[in-house]
Structure 1
């Protein structure tokens, strides 16, 4: 059994697993609503849009998380405003804003001398995180997790029937803003772990797997968090033996789980039809 526990006997591997488990909670919960609302591109857009905020925060001497959060939330709000005030569809607006902000970030990074490592920002550095990264991820996980569990019924009504949500007196616009803020905060928590490129996988795949495996939202939320957590542990453990980076290995495990869930759902559906 030593082969099973050996990777986690090293402190840097334990820290990688811990920060992965921490971000699994908000990522799993939010992924359900992103999948149900068709907001998958929103997570992608926010994760790419934080790059210029990170660079500008570094230049200004501010904590990188402040610049990342401001850029991510600002870009999401700008995309929403453009979509509401034009005939252009949401996915088109998100594509333009995402590519524009990411391009701006790369230009700023190359134009401004800095000690930032672009590969760590893009792909994360799970094996090099420190205590501050763990504390930040834990804090964001606790806050976002508590908010989602507190408002999950309202968020569900907005996802399934936005018209009924407005008629019922819910402030749907504020719920949307709250969702965007929580997505931005979760992406910030992922900045030092999986990076901004691979963050979108954790914001989509757990909810997609849970959607295929469940029929009730409460079960979907629990399964999505479990999928993200299990994928993190398996990914970090596998990365040790494969001598690979943990973040992309976690994404591969998530992809494998989605394929298995898809096949399982198809087989179950055929059996029900045949029966």
Structure 2
């Protein structure tokens, strides 16, 4: 099977595109995912990944690249959620639930209007084997920009993630960096559509980062490990999906989940926690 996969990489451009795209998505999702789980915003990632669906449908209707509509609706959803949470007694999880379900319902309606169920099915569940050269390079460029932004603003993102009150005391604009992270999250979610689809994006954002969290207390080390795990899961998932002719997006997610489950059992943090529980 390995030789068939390697031969396929040599002979078929679509498989080369799939490998590069899936690996890049695994890396950038792992990087952004670290900040998402540290801020307790896993639900926000899920909401935005589904909220982009109406934008994708509208893009198909208007015959424009789906990146445009998806990013616009993703940012719009994050603004609505944050505005409701900050300006009412409604908690963030409730605001996320309302926005998520509304945008998803709108997306379903627009799918029917777009009358392009085959392409939109790939958006929902991913089809990394169908990635074209333009999409591959767009994903690479977008991901490089996201990682560059994280590197440039690493310190304020670090401070606002661990202690927003202290960040405010130091004069850091906490809300500005919150919206910056939401923008990065939206861009990554849109980029990941081709590989895992909107349904499974949240797994690529959360699972590698959660796995990395089990091994280190340093955010910089966590980011590097999470990016590696995201890339590794993407490569192994692509190999399994291609070799057995099954959905690649799903195999990528299940590979990442399997690594997390193993880490949950053997990681130093978990072993230490189990010892404390047994002593108690």
Q: TM-score, normalised by structure 2?
A: 0.92
Q: State the partner residue of 1:132.
A: 134
Q: State the partner residue of 2:73.
A: 71
Q: State the partner residue of 1:110.
A: 112
1:168 to 170, 178, 189: 170
Identify which range, 55-64 or 123-132, moves more after superposition: 55-64
Output aligned runs, 1:35-114, within 5 Å. Answer: 35-114=37-116
CA RMSD in angstroms, aligned pairs only: 1.9
Output aligned runs, 1:154-193, within 5 Å. Answer: 154-193=156-195
Q: State the partner residue of 1:25.
A: 27
> 2-side partners of 1:19 and 1:188: how far apart?
13
Q: Deviations over 1:65-117 (max 9, x none)?
A: 11000000100110110111111111111011111101100011113434752
> 2-side partners of 1:234 and 1:83: how far apart?
39
3-state SS of the aligned residue for 1:197?
A: helix
Count of matched residue pairs:
275
Q: State the partner residue of 1:227.
A: 229
Q: State the partner residue of 1:264.
A: 266
TM-fit CA distance, 1:125: 1.1
Q: Which runs of no fewer than 5 residues in structure 2 stay unpaired? A: none
Q: Is the 8 A contact 2:233 2:256 kept in 1?
A: yes
Q: Is the 8 A contact 2:26 2:233 kept in 1?
A: no
> 2-side partners of 1:5 and 1:54: how far apart?
34
3-state SS of the aligned residue for 1:213?
A: coil
Q: State the partner residue of 1:2.
A: 3
Q: Deviations over 1:122-144 (max 9, x none)?
A: 01111111001101100111000
Q: Is the 8 A contact 1:7 1:240 kept in 2?
A: no
> 2-side partners of 1:198 and 1:86: how far apart?
31
Q: Is the 8 A contact 2:23 2:234 kept in 1?
A: yes
Q: Deviations over 1:179-238 (max 9, x none)?
A: 111111111111222111111111111110011111111110100000000001110111
TM-fit CA distance, 1:57: 2.1
Q: Which runs of no fewer than 5 residues in structure 1 stay unpaired? A: none
TM-fit CA distance, 1:38: 0.3
Q: State the partner residue of 1:214.
A: 216
Q: 1:79 to 1:270 in 2, by over 3 A?
A: closer
> 1-side partners of 2:238 and 2:53: how far apart?
25
Identify which range, 52-61 or 36-45, moves more after superposition: 52-61
* 1:245 counterpart = 2:247: yes
3-state SS of the aligned residue for 1:193?
A: helix
1:194 to 196, 209, 215: 196
Q: State the partner residue of 2:36.
A: 34
> 1-side partners of 2:182 and 2:211: how far apart?
22
